[in-house]
A = this chain, B = another copy of it.
Amino acid sequence: MATTLPLLTTDSAACCSPVTGGVLEPHEAERIARTFKALGDPTRVRLLSLIAASDGGEACICDLTDPVGLSQPTVSHHMKLLADAGLVTREQRGKWAYYAVVEEALTNAAAALRIA
């Protein structure tokens, strides 16, 4: 599953203070670290990849529990952390919550890692 894709080159000039583009102010470092903290868990990384690989780039929570082998409350907790970090959106449809990856958030996180 090592599909590779072109690195995004969207306009990131307006969005980010790269980690390596100068000494970060504490509030910038806080914001960047919050995103990476949400990404710093293997289950959440897998959930993101599952959602991104789903049809239409979105997934029902009912389809996420089996692949990661965790209960729905546990998956919901991880999804809440990802949503709080702005990495996914959540939409309730009837009984189920549907999640989609916020591509811009990943782009911004990647932009924060640009090298001087």
Chain A residues proximal to chain B, CB less than 8 Å: 1-9, 12-13, 16-26, 28-30, 32-34, 36-46, 48-50, 52-53, 57, 67, 101, 103, 106-107, 109-111, 113-116
Tell me whether B12 and A26 are in contact (CB under 8 A).
no
Tell me whether B3 and A22 are in contact (CB under 8 A).
yes
- Give the docked Cα–Cα distance between A67 and B3 (Å): 41
Contact sample, A vs B, 13 pairs, CB 8 Å cutoff: A2-B21, A3-B22, A4-B21, A4-B114, A7-B110, A19-B106, A20-B53, A20-B101, A29-B46, A32-B39, A36-B40, A37-B40, A110-B113
Tell me whether B24 and A5 are in contact (CB under 8 A).
no
Question: Considering only CB atoms, which chain B residue lies closest to A67 in the complex?
Answer: B23
Nearest CB on B from A64, distance (A): 11
Tell me whether A3 and B18 are in contact (CB under 8 A).
yes
